[in-house]
C-alpha cells in the first residue's frame, strides 16, 4: 500500500492527548456559559456574572443574531472582550483539511449511478472517499444503508467491499444496485451491536455518519479484531446506552480534572442546522415559541419554577393554533386550564422567551464544536492506545455537513 508521507500521516505521539487535555480544561473553565440550557433556564447564573455580555446579546436584532450564528469563530473573538478565555477559541479548534473540494468532486459517484442517493449525500461520500484515498485493503462499510459509500469507494479502487446493515430492505436494495452497476460490493444483514460479532480479517473499516454507540462499536471491535485501518466520521454522539457518557481512552478517563457530561450535554454537539431547509427552521421556531408560551403559562398556574418537558407533538398540530397546542400539552401533563386563558398574552410571552432563547443559545452554540472535538480527540487517543497512527481533520466544508470531522487510523506496522 502507498501511504502519504510520514509527516502528514499522523500527529506526534501524545499530541492528541495534550490537545484533549487543553480543550477539556478550557471547557471546564467556561462551563457556566454552556451548561445551562436556554430553553429550560430563563435566568442562567452567567447573566449576573457577565451583565455586559448579557445586555449585548439580548439587544441583538434578529438579522444580526442569524448572521452571528453563521460566524461563530468571529463571534468568539468579539466576545473575548467580555470573556478573555474565548480568545483561545480558534487555536483550540484548528484542524487540517484532509481533501480539497475539487478532490471530493472527482471522487463522487457519477450522478447516473447514484440511484436513491440524494445529491448532498453523494457529495459527502465523495469528499469522505477523497480524504481516505489511497485505499489498500478490502473495505468493511459499517452501518452501510444501501451501500452508497461502499459503491463510491469501489470506484476509487477498493478491491472488494463488504457492508453490514441491520435493515434487510436496505440490504436487498443495495445488493440490487451493486449488481446492476457491476460494483464489487456485497451487503449483509447484520446487527453490528451483537456481542461476539466476527469481523472479516484484514479489512479497512469505514463509517460515514454512523450514530453514537454504532461508530464507537466500530472503533472498539475493529481495534480488538486488529483491523489494519479504520476511517470514520462520527455523528449523533448522544445516542448511547448510558445516561452518563463514558470516555473511550484510558488516559482521558484517568485524567483527574476530566469533564463529566450526560446525554443532554452531548446533544449540544449536534445541534447545528446549516443543512435544514428554511421551511423546517420556520416550523421549529413556531413550535418552540408555543412550547415556551405553554411553559410560562404552566409556571403561572402551578407555581412550578422549573421547565416542564412535554412529549413530541402530533404532526396535525403543526398548522393549528397556539391554543390547540396548549390544550393538547395540558392534557398530556394532566393540567387543568382555566376557562378564561388570554391566549394572546401567553403567546406573546412565548415569543419574548423565544427571542431570549435565540440570543442565549448564540452564546451556548459557541461550544458545539469544542464539545464535539473534545469527544473526537478522546477517540483519537483511544485509537493511539490501540496501536494506530491517527490523522484527524475535516473532509468537507460545514455547509455540506456540520459533521465533517474525520478520524483516519492506520495500525502501526500494518
Within a domain: 361: yes
CA distance 404 to 406: 6
> What whole-number percentage of the chain has pLDDT above 90?
89
Q: 169 and 213: one domain? A: yes
Q: 246 and 175: one domain? A: yes
- At 190, is the secondary structure helix, strand, or coil? coil
- At 202, is the secondary structure helix, strand, or coil? coil
Q: 248 and 378: one domain? A: yes
pLDDT of residue 281: 82
Number of structural domains (the chain) is: 2
Q: 152 and 287: one domain? A: no
In this structure, are residues 404 and 395 in contact, taking their beta carbons and an 8 Å threshold?
A: yes
- At 119, is the secondary structure helix, strand, or coil? helix
Burial grade of 348 (CB within 10 A; 0-12, 13-18, 19 or more): middle
In this structure, are residues 352 and 55 in contact, taking their beta carbons and an 8 Å threshold?
A: no
Residue 14: pLDDT over 90: no
Tell me, what CATH number does 373's domain have? 3.40.50.150
Within a domain: 33: no
CA distance 322 to 320: 7
Within a domain: 400: yes
pLDDT band at 274 (very low <50, low <70, confident <90, very high): low
pLDDT of residue 66: 87
Per-residue cell: 339: 376557562
Report strand pairing: 204-211 vs 161-165.
unpaired
Within a domain: 349: yes
Q: 229 and 262: one domain? A: yes
Q: 338 and 189: one domain? A: no
The distance in angstroms from the start CA to the end CA of the chain is: 9
CA distance 379 to 17: 10
CB neighbours of residue 182 within 10 Å: 9
CA distance 352 to 337: 22
CA distance 312 to 162: 37
Render pLDDT for 349-367 as a digit per residue (tens, 0 to 9). 999 999 999 999 999 999 9
CA distance 277 to 117: 18
In this structure, are residues 292 and 352 in contact, taking their beta carbons and an 8 Å threshold?
A: no
- At 235, is the secondary structure helix, strand, or coil? strand
Q: 181 and 299: one domain? A: no
The residue whose grid cell reads 462499536 is 217
Q: 210 and 319: one domain? A: no
**Mean pLDDT (whole number) for 113-117:** 93
Higher pLDDT, 109 or 278: 109
Render pLDDT for 316-330 as a digit per residue (tens, 0 to 9). 999 899 999 999 999
What range does the domain containing 253 cover? 101-268+368-411
Within a domain: 342: yes
DSSP character at residue 306: S
- Mean pLDDT, rounded, of the chain: 94
Per-residue cell: 38: 436556554
DSSP string, 351-364: HHHHHHHHHHHHHH
**Mean pLDDT (whole number) for 309-315:** 94
Q: 329 and 295: one domain? A: yes
Last residue in a domain, options 350, 365, 380: 365
Within a domain: 37: no
pLDDT of residue 242: 86
The pTM (predicted TM-score) of the whole model is 0.92
Within a domain: 115: yes
Rg (CA), the chain: 24
CA distance 366 to 269: 10
Report strand pairing: 388-394 vs 405-411.
antiparallel
Within a domain: 168: yes
Burial grade of 131 (CB within 10 A; 0-12, 13-18, 19 or more): buried
Q: 377 and 360: one domain? A: no
CB neighbours of residue 43 within 10 Å: 10
Q: 253 and 283: one domain? A: no
Q: 233 and 356: one domain? A: no
**Mean pLDDT (whole number) for 233-257:** 95
Amino acid at each position: 500500500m502507498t501511504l502519504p508521507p510520514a509527516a502528514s500521516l499522523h500527529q506526534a505521539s501524545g499530541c492528541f492527548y495534550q490537545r484533549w487535555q487543553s480543550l477539556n480544561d478550557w471547557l471546564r473553565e467556561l462551563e457556566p456559559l454552556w451548561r445551562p440550557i436556554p430553553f429550560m433556564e430563563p435566568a442562567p447564573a452567567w447573566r449576573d456574572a457577565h451583565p455586559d455580555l448579557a445586555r449585548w446579546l439580548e439587544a441583538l436584532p434578529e438579522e444580526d443574531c442569524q448572521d452571528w450564528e453563521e460566524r461563530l469563530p468571529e463571534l468568539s473573538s468579539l466576545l473575548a472582550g467580555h470573556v478573555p478565555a474565548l480568545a483561545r477559541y480558534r487555536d483550540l479548534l484548528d484542524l487540517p483539511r484532509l481533501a480539497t473540494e475539487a478532490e471530493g468532486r472527482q471522487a463522487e459517484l457519477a450522478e447516473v449511478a447514484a440511484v436513491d442517493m440524494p445529491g448532498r449525500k453523494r457529495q459527502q461520500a465523495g469528499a469522505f472517499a477523497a480524504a481516505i484515498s489511497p485505499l489498500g485493503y478490502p473495505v468493511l462499510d459499517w452501518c452501510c444503508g444501501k451501500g452508497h459509500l461502499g459503491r463510491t469507494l469501489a470506484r476509487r479502487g477498493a478491491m472488494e467491499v463488504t457492508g453490514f446493515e441491520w435493515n434487510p430492505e436496505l440490504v436487498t436494495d443495495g445488493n440490487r444496485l451493486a449488481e446492476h452497476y457491476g460494483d464489487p460490493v456485497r451487503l449483509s444483514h447484520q446487527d453490528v451491536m451483537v456481542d461476539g460479532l466476527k469481523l472479516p480479517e484484514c479489512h479497512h473499516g469505514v463509517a460515514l455518519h454512523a450514530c453514537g454507540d454504532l461508530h464507537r462499536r466500530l472503533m472498539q471491535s475493529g481495534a480488538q479484531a486488529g483491523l489494519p485501518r479504520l476511517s470514520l466520521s462520527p455523528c449523533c454522539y448522544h445516542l448511547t446506552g448510558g445516561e452518563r457518557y463514558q470516555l473511550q481512552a484510558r488516559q482521558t478517563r484517568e485524567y483527574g480534572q476530566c469533564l463529566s457530561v450526560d446525554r443532554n450535554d452531548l446533544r449540544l454537539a449536534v445541534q447545528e442546522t446549516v443543512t435544514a431547509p428554511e421551511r423546517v427552521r420556520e416550523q421549529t421556531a413556531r413550535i418552540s415559541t408555543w412550547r415556551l408560551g405553554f411553559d410560562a403559562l404552566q409556571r403561572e398556574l402551578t407555581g412550578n419554577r422549573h421547565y416542564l418537558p412535554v412529549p413530541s407533538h402530533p404532526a396535525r398540530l403543526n398548522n393549528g393554533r397556539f391554543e390547540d397546542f396548549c390544550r393538547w400539552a395540558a392534557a398530556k401533563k394532566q393540567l387543568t386550564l382555566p376557562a378564561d386563558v388570554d391566549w394572546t398574552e401567553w403567546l406573546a410571552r412565548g415569543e419574548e422567551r423565544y427571542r431570549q432563547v435565540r440570543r442565549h443559545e448564540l452564546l451556548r452554540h459557541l461550544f458545539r464544536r469544542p464539545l464535539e472535538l473534545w469527544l473526537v480527540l478522546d477517540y483519537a487517543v483511544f485509537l493511539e492506545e490501540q496501536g494506530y497512527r491517527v490523522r484527524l481533520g475535516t473532509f468537507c466544508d460545514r455547509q455540506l455537513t456540520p459533521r465533517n470531522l474525520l478520524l483516519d487510523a492506520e495500525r502501526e506496522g500494518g
